[in-house]
Amino acid sequence: MSETASSVKSVQRMSRPEVSWKDISNPGCHVEIGTGDLCRIPKEALITGSSPLIRKESHGASRLVWLDDNPYITTFEARMLACENNIKPNF
C-alpha cells in the first residue's frame, strides 16, 4: 500500500493590475514598482473638484501595482503582497 503525502499545496497567483497615477479611480493601497513606496489612497483623495491629498512630481513616469481595495490594510500585509508581486517593499 503506497500513500504519498504532500505538504506543499499548489497556489496559483494572479498578477495584480498596474496603473499610472492618472488612472487611479478607486480608493485602495498601491505600491510603486520602481521605488517600492506604499501609496494609500483614501476615497477623499479622489473627490472631483476637491483639493488633492496626493501630489507627486517626477521626471519619470511611475507605475503602481494595486494591492488591495482597502487603503488601510496593515503594513505587514502590504509588504507581503508587494513581495508576492516581485516588488521589494520600501516601507
Specify if 58 maps to a domain: yes
- Determine, yes or no, domain membership for 73: yes
Amino acid found at 66: W
Residue 10 within a domain: no
Q: What's the rounded mean pLDDT across residues 14-40?
A: 91
Task: Work out the pLDDT band at 69, boundaries 50, 70, 90.
Answer: very high
Number of structural domains (the chain) is 1
Q: Residue 12: inside a domain, yes or no? A: no
In a domain, residue 3? The reply is no
Q: What is the pLDDT of residue 67?
A: 97
- Please check whether residue 91 lies inside any domain of the structure: no
Tell me the residue range of the domain where 38 lies. Answer: 18-84
Domain assignment present for 90: no
51: in domain: yes
- Which contacts (CB < 8 Å, 24+ apart) does range 81-89 have? 81/16, 81/31, 82/31, 82/36, 82/38, 84/13, 85/15, 85/16, 85/31, 87/31, 87/33, 87/36, 88/36, 89/31, 89/36, 89/38
